[in-house]
Amino acid sequence: MKLDIRIFRSAVIAAGIVGIMLGAGCAPPTNTDPNGGKAESEVKDTTNPDATAVVRPDPPVDGPAITGDTIKIGLVASQNGPLIPWGVDCINGVKLAVDLQNEKGGVDGKKIQLLVEDDASTPEGGKSAAEKLVSDGIIGLLGEVSSGITQPMSQVSFENGIPHIAVGATKTTITDMGSNVFRVCYTDDFQGPVMAKFAYDQGLRNVAIMTDEKQPYSQYLSKTFKEFFTKLGGTIAAEQSYESGQTTFTGQLSNIKSANPDGLFLSGYFTEVGPIVKQAGQLGLSNVTYMGGDGWDSNQLVKSGGDAIVGGFFCNHYNEHEKRKEVQDFLAAWKKKYGGKPGTTMGALGYDAAALMMDAIHRATTKDAKGIIEALDNTVDFKGVSGNITLKGMHGNPKKPALVVEVTKDGFVPRKSYTYDEVFSAAKN
């Protein structure tokens, strides 16, 4: 009977995912379980003291076991399309972690075989890439960076009982799919409030918001920023929307200018943020502080935004200027293998995702997908480049500090680190 219930849940979740993808990415409620009723038992979500998290369903089937002399790990990343900068860094970060581990003899004497599939920066590509990797016999799945691409991937990993670690997908509900889904990044339930707290700390009180309506990531990040900023006492001056791929933003920016904000929160990806800010400057939107989330993270931001983006701030997972040993060792290894340094944070997050997966394979009491899922779920204080990762009791979401970095002509410079307690206690005072 337990198997029948799981299959039922899987079918309902699959239908829900389709609805999310077709319905502009609206986030489902966080206090109901996938069968549409009240959660069997509600557990406090430690990323947000005011929220609850569902009991995540187990996959409907047990995944494969490790056999043979190699261990296959799959990675889905953007090798084509607008998200290439993230995809390239993610692939290189994962390859670096795998190569370093194989130089040490692999995991439990077995070499890691990395299989990479391209999603072409689309949700449909992510789903088909994940299906291809599962058919190729992977024991674990990594990716994606984009939340919109990760959602259909998680459906595939759940239905096949495969442990899945998302790299940069911050949409909070990603891990609600099932107990097999984890991430190495923080969630939008955290980075939205982080940027709201930062804005308020900077003296901003009247902030406008622009949201990419094609991206679930952007929608939810705008939502959490707005809720927390108003909770702190700030006012939302205006709200405007656009769509990925759009190149002209004159109408939206004119409306925002008439609202006379002191800040503008841009929750979308670097592909549009740079042009938006450049056009805002041309329209005379002066004395406005530009802010955003980790979707800004690309050296292309400064190229497309020009001088107008300099002095902006965004939330990120780590920064090359940090003195932590894990950061400096990673950068040294990257430089030795590739030369230079990663262009985006996704190099570090990809590295962390691969390293965590291999660590869990080693710790697993049974060398199969189910054992690896249990090992991931019991992870405590894993030393990652992007910070220490604890997943035990966290419903797949690590509790990590977040950095606010400033955009300069020479790159991104860390300005302030925020912990969970520091951010959420502020709204109670």
Look at the chain and report how many structural domains it folds into.
2
**What pLDDT score was predicted for residue 429?**
63
C-alpha to C-alpha distance for 348 and 318, rounded to whole angstroms: 8
Whether residue 268 has pLDDT greater than 50: yes
Is the domain of 141 the same as that of 164? yes
Is the domain of 281 the same as that of 412? yes
C-alpha to C-alpha distance for 398 and 380, rounded to whole angstroms: 10
C-alpha to C-alpha distance for 83 and 122, rounded to whole angstroms: 9
Q: Which of 32, 86, 66, 49 is nearest to 296 (CA)?
A: 86
Is the domain of 167 the same as that of 265? no
Is the domain of 237 the same as that of 160? no
Is the domain of 392 the same as that of 408? no
Is the domain of 411 the same as that of 383? no
Task: Convert the pLDDT of each residue in 16-30 to its tens digit.
Answer: 333 333 332 333 222
Whether residue 399 has pLDDT greater than 70: yes
Task: Convert the pLDDT of each residue in 148-158 to its tens digit.
Answer: 999 999 999 99
Edge-to-edge strands, sheet with 411-418? 235-242, 206-212, 263-266, 289-292, 313-316, 402-408, 411-418
Q: Please check whether residue 278 lies inside any domain of the structure.
A: yes
% of the chain surpassing 90 pLDDT:
82
Q: Please check whether residue 60 lies inside any domain of the structure.
A: no
Give the structural domain span for 154. 70-185+323-398
- Residues pairing with 368 in the sheet: 65
Task: Convert the pLDDT of each residue in 357-382 to its tens digit.
Answer: 999 999 999 999 999 999 999 999 99
Edge-to-edge strands, sheet with 164-166? 111-118, 70-77, 140-142, 164-166, 181-183
Q: For residue 417, what is the domain's CATH number? A: 3.40.50.2300
